A and B are shown apart, each in its own frame.
Chain A
Amino acid sequence: MSDIILEMRNITKTFPGVKALDDVNFQVRQGEIHALVGENGAGKSTLMKVLSGVYPHGSYTGEIFYQGQACRFKDISDSEQLGIVIIHQELALVPLLSIAENIFLGNEQQKFGIINWYEAITKTQAVLKKVGLNESPNTLITNIGVGKQQLVEIAKALTKEVQLLILDEPTASLNESDSDALLNLLLELKAQGISSILISHKLNEVSKVADSITILRDGATIETLDCQQDEITENRIIRGMVGRSLTNRYPPREVEIQDTIFEVKNWNVFHPLHEDRQVINNVNIHVKKGEVVGIAGLMGAGRTELAMSVFGHSYGKHISGQVYKHGQEINVSSIGKAIANGLAYVTEDRKSLGLILIDSVKSNITLANLNGIASRFRINQPQELAIAREYRDKLNIKCSSILQKTVNLSGGNQQKVVLSKWLFSSPEILILDEPTRGIDVGAKYEIYTIINQLAAEGKGVIIISSELPEILGVCDRIYVMNEGRIVGEMPKAEASQEKIMEAIMQKKEVLHDE
């Protein structure tokens, strides 16, 4: 067996209320590509942040050995000095600087503060050649595609004498040929003796390049598979990823499904900036009265874009298609019209899109339906207070007063404020986008209970979630989305995590054949 370059022992990392990593052990051998897989929230990114020093020594328990030495990183620069470089999913490049400027940002080729551009350009040309990127060092980052930007990130890592390269979802936003180029580059780097850790949801890529695979689930190491010895299939990986037993984390519910209340037909949406890129491709979905419908899919599958484009065209350009409520076509071309027609959209990003953080719980709850508390133009303040209190009690929002600013609330309570806002607009159809992201288990249960109540009241509920257990636990029917299309539809009885994952993968293969 080759040498162990990295060993992480008994790593435990807790956030207030959540144990993100629970006694994780992780080993990487010299010169291998080691894939780290698991569902969203399994702890992959947290583990890598512990490794790279984003979470400094002392904020976690456990030990890290790198090249045989015990390491206690205080910040990223400590780990970078030893040749550990992490490339995050959101690229850390400055769009309006050139490739060369970005590559040497913070590591300038300088003497006494004066940059030697000849040296910088020459070195840039050398590393660009290494990563196979045929661009001038003076090209601005904003003028090259995401795939090439990834290569620039790797080139940047190479200038830092990288020994262990960590890539977090590097191909998530890449097309097929760019992904292939990137994976081939990883194999080349491996031949040069550079080890990599690859975090990916795309299991076909993982099984293509990985030498070993570590599976994380719920913050714990489940198993490490050796690709040379074991027979690795995608199904085998999926089983490891999702094989958790479901206890009653979801409140039970009497299901009474009636007629179709809401329908979206032939929905097409293009990217707001890159107008030739189709983000949503001929989507058809419907919801029945009293039904909870889930939309499953990986990050970037187009689920949020679908929801927002339906909700008052708040995302995208050149939107086409029809929306029906009770069989009647309705106009959703502006947010005001969508709300007036009984739609509500609870955003996945409550802090920047859902709440006015500097305003009180009360003002946030009434914002989407100010006319409901006003006679003509004048706000009836006592009525507003009464409404806010009513929702605080109904949804059990924990705040010192309804006049407390929402910025000071916990995530779960903030989410309940956003939900209250939309419940007060008395919608018939609610679209909940990642309604339980980043909130603790208890608050999740409460939100599921609210969802059940809404369905019982005869509303149509659509839930977008990246957590498959949540989709399976709450929804009556599930759509699977991938790359802007609906690639599967299944009733609860037939649905399983494996089937959903399969639907995503299958469609991928079909697309590749096209």
Chain B
Amino acid sequence: MSRMTTTPDQVMDQESSLAGITKILRENVRQYGMLVALIAIMIFFQIMTDGILMKPINLTNLILQNSYIVIMAIGMLLVIVAGHIDLSVGSVVAFVGAAAAVMMVNYEMNFLVTVIISLALGALIGGAQGYWVAYLKIPSFIVTLAGMLVFRGLTLALLQGQSIGPFPTAFQRISTGFIPDIFGNESINLTTMLLAAIVSAALVFMDIQSRRKQQQYRVETSPLPIFILKNVVLVGAIMYLSYLMASFKGLPNVLIVLFVLIVAYTFVATQTTLGRRIFAIGGNEKAAKLSGVKTERLTFYTFVNLGVLAALAGLVFAARLNVATPKAGEALELDVIAACFIGGASMSGGVGTVIGAVIGAFVMGVMNNGMSILGIGIEWQQVIKGLVLLAAVFFDVYNKNKG
């Protein structure tokens, strides 16, 4: 019993002792473990590929290649946190891409109108599947497995087995465009560097603010050296990566979209009543329901949300290839789901972070990219990716059991 009665103040005292330091290390390993792993993987491939991995053009490609996976991983995370799964997103990517292609190419519709209709179509698809899951209590695995087949089939029907393209330039820019350089510098994109500096400053400012608040309310905070180290590394990484991209074509448009989505969904997941309730549903649906949480409605909306994000991913995907094909996005759902689990989400719901899912997506992305540069065959790439997924989840489970 006496062990249970320690107050937070006592805990903070303990932190200065050796036991406290190992405890903090352990907790930080859990929190930053995947980020460290991502950096390690990047360094590994950077060395193995003789520096090709971090070349500005490759880095930019890496982001463009993985953008649609990241977009969907954000939505998938909320679905997984709510205790469900969505296997249909790969087919939805293809279907929405095809629908957009038909609208723009066959009917010559304006690209903005097309984007809006496509996103609405995504919401409709997500809602149609979410309804079965949330209100009719059909397991999401089955509903979305059906959805995977249905929307792949509809894609084939819509495209009549052919590819449709190319698209208007304005639409292609979603994926292939870069933000304009207002300074007109030849060698380096100064707008990019300016934006990077602003974002870095904002992140550091916000972190300092929240630390001050935590101290004010006697919440456990990490020691100052670790806090400073964390921010230095963060700012360094942002500035370095931005510098690399600035020396190529600058920031891709889609990276701005990603940034906005990551910030917005992290805010929703961690700071709002909505996010808290979704986590509560995944943690214990019955208890959440008896606490007045509208479990059905929220579950439904997580699927609607993922539908919209899958539609956005479909547009980005189609714009990048500049053609809609019946095979678009095949097996993409597996990459997206793997990203969430690598990023620390729990299969049984209630646990996960947006940023973790994003890191998970880039772990997969960097490995794809690096192994392709090394000329490793697709067969061994799959084997290695599978083992990495297993290792990452094992690491997470092992850590939790120990903690």
Contact = CB atoms under 8 A, between A and B. Distances in A.
Contacts of A399: 4
A370 B272 CA distance: 9
Interface in A172-202: none
Contacts of A377: 272-274
Nearest to B3: A400
Interface string B253-294: 000000000000000000111101101100110111111111
B137 interface: no
Interface stretch (B45-53, B200-208, B211-219): B211-219
| Residue among A336, A345, A357, A370 having the largest count of chain B Cβ atoms under 10 Å | A370
Contacts of B351: 358
Contacts of B292: 312, 335-336, 338-339, 368, 425
Nearest to B349: A358
A378 interface: yes
Contacts of B293: 367
B342 to A, nearest CB: 20
Contacts of A450: none
A305 to B, nearest CB: 14
B15 to A, nearest CB: 12
Nearest to A386: B217
Given A371-B273, A379-B272, A382-B213, A355 B287 contact: yes
B6 interface: yes
B291 A367 contact: yes
B108 interface: no
Interface in B271-320: 271-274, 276-277, 279-280, 283-284, 286-294
B276 A370 contact: yes
B284 A378 contact: no
Interface string B332-373: 000000000000000000110000000000000000000000
Contact of A378 (B4, B272, B279, B289): B272
B195 interface: no
B294 A398 contact: no
Nearest to A355: B287
Nearest to A354: B287
A359 B290 contact: no
Interface string A374-393: 10011101100110000000
A335 B290 contact: yes
Contact of A352 (B5, B217, B276, B284): B284
Nearest to A374: B273
B9 to A, nearest CB: 10
B335 to A, nearest CB: 27
B136 to A, nearest CB: 16
A359 B283 contact: yes
Given A347-B290, A368-B292, A382-B216, A400 B4 contact: yes
Interface string B1-16: 1011110100100000
A352 B280 CA distance: 13
A387 to B, nearest CB: 11
Contacts of A71: none
Contact of A398 (B5, B286, B287, B350): B5
A370 B273 contact: yes
Contacts of B294: 336
Contact residue range for chain B?
A: 20 to 34
A233 interface: no
A512 B8 CA distance: 60
Interface residues of A, number: 41
Contacts, number: 94
Nearest to A370: B273
Given A378-B272, A382-B213, A400-B4, A358 B286 contact: no
Point out which of B217, B279, B284 has the most chain A C-beta atoms below 10 A from its C-beta: B284
A496 B216 CA distance: 54
B288 A367 contact: yes
Contacts of B271: 378-379, 381
Residue with the greatest number of chain B CB neighbours at <10 A, chosen from A311, A356, A398, A403: A356
Given A314-B290, A335-B289, A381-B213, A358 B350 contact: yes
B11 A363 contact: no
B279 A359 contact: yes
A2 B144 CA distance: 67
A347 B290 CA distance: 9
Contacts of A402: 8
B289 A400 contact: no
A459 B106 CA distance: 68
A409 B3 CA distance: 11
A339 B294 CA distance: 12
Contact of A359 (B1, B220, B350): B350
Contacts of B5: 398
Contacts of B286: 352-353
B277 A356 contact: no
A333 interface: no
A410 interface: yes
B273 A356 contact: no
A399 B8 CA distance: 9
Contacts of B219: 385, 403
Contacts of B284: 352, 355-358
Interface in B89-129: none
Contacts of B283: 356-359
Nearest to A362: B219
B12 to A, nearest CB: 10
A421 interface: yes
B11 A353 contact: no
A345 to B, nearest CB: 7
B329 to A, nearest CB: 32
Nearest to B346: A358
Contacts of A353: 286-287, 290
Nearest to A409: B4
A402 B272 CA distance: 19
- The 8 nearest A-B residue pairs measured at CB: A356-B283, A368-B291, A370-B273, A356-B284, A377-B272, A339-B292, A367-B291, A398-B4
Given A311-B290, A353-B286, A355-B287, 16 more contacts: A347-B290, A356-B280, A356-B283, A358-B283, A358-B351, A363-B276, A368-B291, A368-B292, A378-B273, A379-B276, A381-B271, A382-B213, A382-B217, A400-B11, A401-B11, A425-B292
27 contacts: A312-B292, A335-B289, A335-B290, A336-B292, A336-B294, A339-B292, A352-B286, A356-B283, A356-B350, A359-B280, A367-B276, A368-B291, A370-B273, A377-B273, A378-B271, A379-B272, A379-B273, A379-B276, A381-B213, A382-B217, A385-B217, A398-B4, A399-B4, A400-B3, A400-B4, A401-B220, A403-B219
Interface of B: 1, 3-6, 8, 11, 213, 216-217, 219-220, 271-274, 276-277, 279-280, 283-284, 286-294, 350-351
